[in-house]
């Protein structure tokens, strides 16, 4: 089941997306920035894209309960694979990622570990 709700509040678009046990909130403001906080089972993620000094950057944080674990990450801007590789959670069990991305209608980060995959997606 997929549910989508959009609300416009004072020039800011707020959207809620509920997908099979996970919830995500997306905010698009007047400064060409888009961000979302969501969950995948017990995992929490923050995903944002903004343009600063002419460079579009994707920021991603995954909060887990296990430090020192190697996750496979895949970052897509539309159909373009921007980054694919392994990142290890820090002592707090988090992964922080900043990467330059091209302009796209969708941004997706797939994080996988031992059969668990968390998919975070932003749509413009």
Using an 8 Å Cβ cutoff, are 26 and 34 in contact?
yes
Using an 8 Å Cβ cutoff, are 124 and 28 in contact?
yes
- Decide if 61 is inside a domain: yes
- Decide if 22 is inside a domain: no
Instruction: Give pTM, 2 decimals.
Output: 0.74
CATH number of the domain bearing residue 44: 2.60.40.1150
- Decide if 48 is inside a domain: yes
- Decide if 98 is inside a domain: yes
- Decide if 64 is inside a domain: yes
Q: What torsion, rounded to 10 degrees, do the Cα atoms 88, 113, 122, 83 define? A: 60
Confidence at residue 120, expressed as pLDDT on a 0 to 100 scale: 96
- Arithmetic mean of pLDDT over the chain: 81
- How many distinct structural domains can be found in the chain? 1
pLDDT band at residue 25 under the 50/70/90 scheme: very low
Q: Domain residues for 61?
A: 32-123
Greater pLDDT, 14 or 100 = 100
Confidence at residue 31, expressed as pLDDT on a 0 to 100 scale: 53
Confidence at residue 33, expressed as pLDDT on a 0 to 100 scale: 85
Confidence at residue 111, expressed as pLDDT on a 0 to 100 scale: 97
Give me the mean pLDDT over the 93-109 stretch: 96
Using an 8 Å Cβ cutoff, are 107 and 76 in contact?
yes
- Decide if 109 is inside a domain: yes
Q: Residues with Cβ < 8 Å from 115, sequence gap 6 or more?
A: none
- Decide if 111 is inside a domain: yes
Structure tokens at 11: 């020039």
The CA-atom distances, in angstroms, between 7 and each of 11, 17, 36, 47 are 10, 12, 14, 19
Q: What is the pLDDT of residues 32-43, one digit of tens each?
A: 789 999 999 889
Q: What is the pLDDT of residues 33-87, one digit of tens each?
A: 899 999 998 899 999 999 988 899 999 999 999 999 999 999 999 999 999 999 9
- Decide if 90 is inside a domain: yes
């Amino acid at each position: 089941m997929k549910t989508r709700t959009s609300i416009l509040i004072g020039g800011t678009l707020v959207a809620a997306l509920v997908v099979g046990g996970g919830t995500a909130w997306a905010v698009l403001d007047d400064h060409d920035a888009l961000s979302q906080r969501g969950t995948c089972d017990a995992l929490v993620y923050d995903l944002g894209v903004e343009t600063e000094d002419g460079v579009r950057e994707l920021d991603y944080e995954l909060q887990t309960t296990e430090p020192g674990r190697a996750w496979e990450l895949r970052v897509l801007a539309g159909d373009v694979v921007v980054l694919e590789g392994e990142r290890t959670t820090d002592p707090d069990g988090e992964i922080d990622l900043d990467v330059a991305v091209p302009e796209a209608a969708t941004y997706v980060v797939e994080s996988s570990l031992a059969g668990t995959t968390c998919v975070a997606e932003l749509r413009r």
